[in-house]
Chain A
Amino acid sequence: MKIEAHQLTKKYGATTALDQLDLEVPEAVGVLVLIGPSGGGKSTLLRLLGGLEVPDSGTIRLDGSLLPSTEGGLLMHRRSHGFLFQSFNLFPHLSALQNVMLPLTRVHGLGEGEARVAAEHQLERLGLAEHQGHHPAELSGGQQQRAALARALATKPGLLLLDEPTSALDPETSAEVLDVIAGLAEEGQQIVLSTHEMGFARAVGGEVAFLAGGRIAEQGSPEQIFENPAEPELQKFLARVLRY
């Protein structure tokens, strides 16, 4: 993946979420991990990359092409990438299978049978074959997040964007979801994710970016970021999160 963000600014009312952020990720990087304090701009950057929102100013290029700013263009952009939310956001009135099938039939033009096969395959791959008929309320948090992952993956996304995918989960189910994500990364899925799991960031991150105050304060390989952090802010952040 090649990401070039230039002078990105995004404000919500009086709050500046992103403040003239610049980011360059070379093509060779498969997984980009965003770390940093809450409110530092990780979610906003992901939402802009996913085309869920548009920046107030600045540009994003993915693999050289400019992210569209019209609603029609953004719709096409969203359809070609996958997004996962911290709180799963499955559709509660649909079963796990129906959740995965919905974008396939309604957005990607698959027939009912084709979509079912693809959805079942995806759910099985994520260990949810037995639960495909269950509604989200009948699934554990980890199962819900894996079902959401199956929904995002079924449409073969170019880029998979994960916004703190395990923040709403307990350590055990977190591990279950992180294993799946690590597996995807190994298979070559291009991923941008934000996380508070530093061990995981270090293990899977091809590149790690530290966001604070709406900017990239430091960026580099996992070794560089976790062993030789240069910025005092990052040093302080790591000292805090790695204390216990």
Chain B
Amino acid sequence: MEILQYSLRKLITGIPLILGVTLISFVLMVYYGPDKTYELVGKNPTAEQIAEVRHELGYDKSFVVRYGEYLKELATMDFGYSDSTGERVSSILVRTIPISLALIIPGFVLGNLLGIILALVAAYHRGTWTDKLIMGGSVVGMSISFLIVIIAFQIIFSSSYGLNWFPVRGWEVYSFMDYLRYVTVPTLATIFVSLGYNTRFYRAVIVEEMGRDHVRTAKAFGTPPTQLLLKSILKNGAIPIITRIMFSIPLVVISGSLLIESYFGIPGVGKVTYDAITTGDQPILKAVVGLTAALFVVTLIINDIMYKMVDPRVSLK
């Protein structure tokens, strides 16, 4: 009950955030965004034809009216039809979001898990050459651009100059084997790029927790290493870890996959959004930006509730 009350209260305080995000995005992407009029009118249009198209696109209404309509669309979750393809925005999103998730989740999960494992190894051997090797490797990994990794992995795994094991681009998934064929190289690239950052972050958290008094006491009482790790170290380090993972989720869903999607030619939501920006497909933009902002607020709430779950001292008041 407390959690429900808290969530409702937080949802209400999240409204200014959603308004801010939608307003800034609306001004940038819709109000000053590309004008679609001349793409839609025929050759040698008359003034009436131009006016008609502008009316259909809603360009002739005032700023306040257009923003108000956007908020209404957001509240009712009905964004109408795409300007470019005429498809319903909701059906585009239903089609593309699962593709992006299927593309990004394996790399995201494995990147974090491997990061925690490497961080544990480094922290356990703190100060030795194992630690230095892992941390040195992390700095090297952090210094290689995502784009370079993608191109290099494509050369290594998908081209005739390398192993040529996987398809270069595309997403024709009809079975689990197809899925593995298309998802492997993007996943490897995602893991490679995130691993350095993750390892450093998790090592810092773990090392900090390992130095605390209660860990030393538990060790002195002869607590077995696994229990020490799970109960004394990871449980206490859970808050920064949860924060990091939770806050990457909204961005990973939208922009994390944009580069991979555009390079590998995968029709996910990142690619669709990017195309919408460059062509000025306003209904799609409005939907994606609005949903991302809403997702952020929901993430903030879940994040706080998870704090409460791992640390009973946290008050939800």
Say whether A associates with B. Answer: no
List the interface of chain A (C-beta within 8 A of B): none
